[in-house]
Structure 1
Amino acid sequence: MQNSRGAGQPIWTRTLAGWHIVFWVLLGMTLGLSFLGHLGTARQAVYVGTVLVLGSAYQFIGLPAIRSRRRLPSYTYRLVLIACLATLIGIYPQSVFLMFIASAQIWLLCEDLREGIGLSVLLVLAVGTAQLWSAGWGWTAFWEILPWMLVSLVVSLLFGIWIEKVITQSQQRAELIEQLESARDELAEAHHSAGVMAERERMAREIHDTLAQGMTSIVMLTQAAAAELSQGGASVAARLAAIEDTARENLAEARALVAAFTPVALSEATLTEVLRRQAERFAAETGVDVRVSLDLPDDEVAALPQAQQVVLLRSAQEALANVRKHAAATQVLITLGLSDGGVWIEIRDDGSGFSPGVASTGFGLNAMRGRVEESGGTVQIDSAPGHGTRVQVLIPAVQEDV
């Protein structure tokens, strides 16, 4: 029942040094007082010898038994303790105050309540018998000693039972603390693992929304430049310039991912300006007519928290990437607005559309949905074959403190 930290050890064991000192002090006082009692040479010699036996038994049997909790040495020492104490009190009745330390040691070494009660009764009977022998075995002495014996027994039992309950509660508390610490460690490990997974998903979304889409643009521009080169190459220079711009932007985004998670574009311009630049670049690369419409003033857009602006920008980028890859659209309208439910952005195209309930969603739309839901928002996708697609992202509007 003992634990490695000592939290569940009995109070006696954790204060062993103090009880060790008390034992030797009381034993020394008893020996010293006995020389003032005029016991006679023979009785004094027996008394001193008994004190030496008790001291040796404590030092070489009792103290190791307290530390090791071995049952045989424990029983041996307590029986020697009771016998020596009865002898000392029989020779010199004033030694009775040694019962204080004797009773404490009996309970210190007991393994259960019944054992402590049995040895406490044996101690009181032995001491009472010794006192009765010292008084001459008369009935008068018996009735004088009996109340004291009963009081000593009751006090010893109450004290021991109380200590046993304290020890039991201490052990239960120690076990509970260990369980709580174990649960705390497991919870911390689970939180760490969840944090690592969340960070990986976040990095995956950032890479998909920036580097992967940029690489896709470069590939498509390179293919277009190669096709035009085979037909004369009149506008190859413009294509190469667009490739260079996209590559530089991708490089800046890669550096930003290493340093932080705020898009480079938002650190240098407002969300409105970045959306317009994205629309112009997308139109230049694909030939699709892209317009940006604002249903709220620029100052309200600038007042949005940076994290919300990132969510809105990444949602627009993902929607445009899907238009590039799948829609075959001729027109795209990006609308940014504010409603009672929060701030929203809508990307609508006139492309081929699809059936949301049938078509499988790729990583991009799942990443968009995950990012938006992390910010407390929602994603709504309306589409049908031949009728274009509308993607609307709505997140709670919380303005930054200034």
Structure 2
Amino acid sequence: MESVENTNCGAGRPVWARTLVGWHIVFWALLGTTLGLSFLGGLSTTRQAVFVGAAVVLGAAYQFVGLPAIRSRRLIPSYLYRLVMIASLMVMIAIYPQSVFLMFIASAQIWLLSEDIREGIGLSVLLVVGVGTAQLWNAGWGWDAFWGILPWMLVSLVVSLLFGIWIEKVITQSQQRAELIEQLEAARDELAEAHHSAGVMAERERMAREIHDTLAQGMTSIVMLSQAASAELSRGGTSGAAARLAAIEDTARENLAEARALVAAFTPVALSEATLTEVLRRQAERFAAETGVDVRVSLDLPDDEVAALPQAQQVVLLRSAQEALANVRKHAAATQVLITLGLSDDGVWIEIRDDGSGFTPGAEYGGFGLNAMRGRVEESGGTVEVESTPGHGTRVQVLMPAVQEDA
């Protein structure tokens, strides 16, 4: 049958490969038993010799043609073997009718080697007609013998067809299940690869955001402080340059600590040593010292409630404030900035408002930084709202949802 192609591998293997040895043993057991019983059947020397010859031909055909055909699924040897098998059985049954029990294994082999149902039906009919003809010859070609043999032959044909069709359906279902398993395994592998790729990309984006929000901004501060110190030195102001150099050292130390925390995937160093309120105020003071912009921090909720916020939310709020201040430094040319931290029914929010140059809504603003802020906030379930008008400043508000307590 087509569905059992490549008996030793593929979809047919679960059905036939595990039972092929069994069928092999059954064939030789039936052939050997029939051959042994024939010597007790009172056959003449000539008939016995012909019977043994037919049995030897059948055994040799099975061993050297049929069995390789079953394994290789080659078309011509399979047809040759089945025709030789039917002819040998006709001779054996004509001489010794009790050999009819070999039809059991012959019928199974016909279906095993068939490419489709039509081929199996055709050869099964040929087998039954051939065996019936042999029995009729042994009985003397009489009508009484014909009517006596016919019901048995019809039952044999029906049983053979039902057996073959059942086997074909079993093997087809086995093939379909094997194909389905292969598809599921392939889909599982593809899904695992997709998850791995998505995880790699997500980790890359996270690292990029962390580097941008910490190391890159710290380096920007160092560059600006270095430029200011250089300008002080060129004017002969050593005291101012010394202050700038001290600020550079502090910023570099913090950047080094942030880099170590980033590698270890820890909470930002600033939050591990102080509250969010203290960190925001410290950031505001440093930003004011570096840029000359008036930065104020306003709290619309008590310090203890700020400290009670989940660490993950505090990190998102801090990074959002840092990114907003970085955009003010790069783009706004502002003189005043107000950072407000508050609590509402929807959750905790932080707002950064400046009086700078503003921008046209929808235009690119903040580059990677603003996109990184949105990505970080949205991953945590929050939202980012940006309002701006050219010449009238910008307002950035980040809202983090309220954390539901377990019942």
TM-score by length of 1: 0.93
Residues 213-264 of structure 1: per-residue CA shift (max 9 Å, x gap): 0010001111111111122222211111100010111111112222215322
> Shift in Å at residue 134 of structure 1?
1.5
Tell me the CA shift for residue 145 of structure 1: 0.7
SS of the residue corresponding to residue 7 of structure 1 reads coil
How is 1:145-184 mapped onto 2 (pairs within 5 angstroms)? 145-184=149-188
Match of 1:297 in 2: 302
Distance of 2:377 and 2:59 partners within structure 1: 78
> Could you state the TM-score of these two structures normalised by the residue count of structure 2?
0.92
Aligned-partner SS, 1:125? helix
How far does the alpha carbon of each residue in 1:14-33 deviate from its partner, in whole angstroms, 9 at most, with x for none?
42111111111111221222
SS of 1:352's equivalent in the other structure is coil
- In the alignment, which residue of structure 1 is the partner of 2:290? 285
Across the aligned residues of Structure 1 and Structure 2, the Cα RMSD in angstroms comes to: 2.1
The answer for the alignment partner of 1:396 in structure 2 is 401
Q: 1:346-398: per-residue Cα shift (whole Å, max 9, x none)?
A: 11122232222345441111111111122222111112233222110012222
Q: Does 1:332 align with 2:337?
A: yes
Looking at structure 2, the residues matched to 262 and 83 of structure 1 have their Cα atoms a distance apart, in angstroms, of: 86
Letter in 2 for 1:175: E
List alignment gaps of at least 5 residues for structure 1.
none
Q: CA deviation at 1:98?
A: 1.1
Q: Is the 8 A contact 1:30 1:95 kept in 2?
A: yes
- Summarize the alignment of residues 258-277 of structure 1 with structure 2, pairs less than 5 Å apart: 258-260=263-265, 262-277=267-282
Instruction: Provide the rounded CA distance (Å) in 2 between the counterparts of 1:389 and 1:360.
Output: 11
**Contact preservation (8 Å) 2:386, 2:395:** yes
Is the partner of 2:360 in helix, strand or coil?
Answer: coil
Corresponding residue of 2:223:
219
SS of the aligned residue for 1:235 comes to: helix
The answer to whether the aligner puts 1:381 opposite 2:386 as a matched pair is yes
Counterpart AA for 2:130: A
Counting matched residue pairs gives: 402
Partners of 1:160 and 1:247 in 2: CA distance:
82
Which stretch has the larger CA shift, 376-385 or 100-109? 376-385
- Could you list the runs of 5+ residues in structure 2 that have no partner in the other structure? none
Kindly indicate whether the alpha-carbon contact (under 8 Å) linking 2:11 and 2:176 is maintained by their aligned counterparts in 1.
no
Residue of structure 1 equivalent to 2:75: 71
Distance 1:12 1:80 in 2: 23
Q: How does 1:2-401 map to 2 (within 5 A)?
A: 2=5, 5-9=9-13, 11-233=15-237, 234-260=239-265, 262-398=267-403
Deviations 1:10-56 (A, max 9, x none): 72344211111111111122122222222232222222222221111
The residue type equivalent to 2:34 in the other structure is: T
Following superposition, the deviation at residue 140 of structure 1 comes to 1.4
Find the residue that maps to 1:178 and give its secondary structure. Answer: helix
Please tell me the residue identity of whatever aligns with 1:82: I
After superposing the two structures, state which structure 1 stretch, 381-390 or 264-273, moved more: 264-273
Contact residue 39 and residue 48 of structure 2 kept, 8 A:
yes
TM-fit CA distance, 1:399: 5.9
Deviations 1:134-181 (A, max 9, x none): 222221111111000001101111111122222223223333333333
Question: Bigger CA drift: 326-335 or 238-247?
Answer: 326-335
1:167 aligned counterpart, secondary structure: helix
Distance 1:347 1:180, change over 3 A: same
Describe the shift of the 1:91–1:312 C-alpha distance in structure 2 as closer, same or farther (beyond 3 A).
same
